[in-house]
Structure 1
Amino acid sequence: MMDKELNIVEHLEELRKRLIISTVAFILFLVLGLVFVKNIYLFFMGDLGYKLMILGPSDIMWIYFHIATIVAVAGTIPVAAWQIWLFVKPALNPLERRTTLAYIPSMFFLFIGGLAFGYYFIFPNIMTFLVNLGKDLMTTSFTADKYFGFLINMTLPFGVAFEMPLVLTFLTTLGMVNPYKIVKLRKYTYLILVLIASMISPPEFISHISVAIPLILLYEISILLSKRVYRRKQKQKLVLNNGVKTDNIIL
């Protein structure tokens, strides 16, 4: 009983250590984002053609902080993934360690890819549609608060959503997820994704569809990759049961 309690305490101490390292990394990247926030701000302004307005002295701090937060999240993802891997490493066999280690750099690039997809494809298309909707009736002028709030809503969810295939295959590799059980929940998942799309996009049908379709496609890609990993794990178990070494199996 005492050994079991000590083991739990050791695991909690290890978890605490990994959380502290990830938190410190987030703070460092947040500071880095604040240092270069003006350059990032000008990049996100794109070809808007005019300066954004602010309605209060504190608005500019809100904008700077949110831009720096996105930078911090992007920079912390590989660090946090590495810490998670170190935490679960003792419970993995050598083959699982090599396989899961390959996911770490992919998490960062997928997050950046998701942000780029939202920024270069979803955001400009919806933005153009909404601006043209009242072009002949209204003068378009945005506050920095509204512009960047809209930009974040159009990009950040895709940065997170692009992690879905990797997270699902990672959990499948660890044996925590069975994709064939997830498939049975497909209709409920579709409903949830459509609801998410309606919450993060402007309140009109075209925007909802533009956001919902990529999310659903990502979900289906996640299922396909998870099934592939799951079948390979089943083959590995079969080979192990027959007394063949797994080192000869190609992932």
Structure 2
Amino acid sequence: MKFNLSQWKRNVHNDQTVIEHLGELRKHLIYSLIGIAVCFIAALVLVTHIYRWLTLPLRGVKLVLLGPGDVIHVYFMVAGVVALTVALPFLLLQLWLFIKPALSPHERKTALGLLPFASIMFLVGTSFAYFVIFPILLKFLIQLASGNFQMLITADNYFSFMVNLLLPFGLIFEMPVVVMFLTQIGILTPQKLRQTRKYAYMGMIVLASIISPPEIVSHLSVDVPMMILYEISVVISRTSYRRREKRRAQEALRFNDTPSSTTRGSRM
């Protein structure tokens, strides 16, 4: 069996590259955990004020705890969700720094420019769910149970219900940002969005029927914003696609002009 020196060098180089990538991943994970930990500690310090603010939709109704240890679980849940929300811009920055070497210069610039909008849209989505959707759902469910049941709302169930509603809306509101980035890098086109519109609408109707009460006002309050976001995404994709095609045409024009100018210079 012969020893192939060139193959051995390539294997060593590849191993070093993998090790370097793992080291970068480890570094950004550590930074992310530190950022989350700092926000978590700050949220724990302010957890009483945060708790009072998040229970405003109850309008004075006291939540119930089933045991002494539940208060720790509830406070940690509240502080954890708030910490992730506050630390989101920093987490997105760490993600961008990790994938930056794999992106082209234009993709790096595009992704970096979209980071603030991603954080803002997540905050807008969770705020919309908290101030509009959540009170409607909560009022409907309490009225539904009032005829036959005496409802005692536990703090654990209340905040679990809130988190399961707010986080999906925060992710749904990221749709325009994701569409803009995928269009800029050539993965998505407005034609594809238009072609899949009817399937997207059907999925939105199914999703709205799952997370909203079975009455028309609550159903529309969930379904209509998602449809509006989809149409906004189509417009954003169309604009981004035109800019991308214009930029590619300018780059092709510059590339075609370069050899001709070089040829003219050599003739002179």
Whether these two folds match at TM > 0.5 is yes
Q: CA RMSD in A?
A: 2.6
Structure 1 segment 25-44 matched on structure 2, within 5 A: 25-44=35-54
Structure 1 segment 35-74 matched on structure 2, within 5 A: 35-46=45-56, 48-74=59-85
How far off its partner does 1:32 sit? 2.3
Separation in 2 of the partners of 1:177 and 1:6? 34
How far off its partner does 1:220 sit? 2.6
- Does residue 1:175 correspond to 2:186, yes or no? yes
How far off its partner does 1:121 sit? 0.8
Rg larger in structure: 2
- Change over 3 Å in CA distance of 1:35–1:89 after alignment to 2: same
Separation in 1 of the partners of 2:98 and 2:157? 40
Separation in 2 of the partners of 1:141 and 1:198? 26
Map of 1:79 onto structure 2 = 90
- Greater Cα offset, 91-100 or 18-27: 91-100
Separation in 1 of the partners of 2:112 and 2:230? 23
- Change over 3 Å in CA distance of 1:183–1:26 after alignment to 2: farther
- Does residue 1:24 correspond to 2:39, yes or no? no
- Greater Cα offset, 228-237 or 57-66: 57-66
Given the two structures, how large is their TM-score scaled by the length of structure 1? Answer: 0.82
Separation in 2 of the partners of 1:78 and 1:112? 11
Report % sequence identity. 41
Separation in 1 of the partners of 2:71 and 2:205? 33
Matched residue count? 243
- Aligned mate of 1:118, from 96, 114, 129: 129
Q: Which amino acid aligns with 1:213?
A: V
- Aligned mate of 2:99, from 88, 100, 121: 88
How far off its partner does 1:25 sit? 1.8
Map of 1:247 onto structure 2 = none
How far off its partner does 1:232 sit? 1.0
- Change over 3 Å in CA distance of 1:143–1:88 after alignment to 2: closer
- Aligned mate of 1:220, from 231, 237, 243: 231
- Greater Cα offset, 31-40 or 205-214: 205-214
Q: Which amino acid aligns with 2:192?
A: K
Map of 1:143 onto structure 2 = 154
How far off its partner does 1:217 sit? 2.3
Given the two structures, how large is their TM-score scaled by the length of structure 2? Answer: 0.78
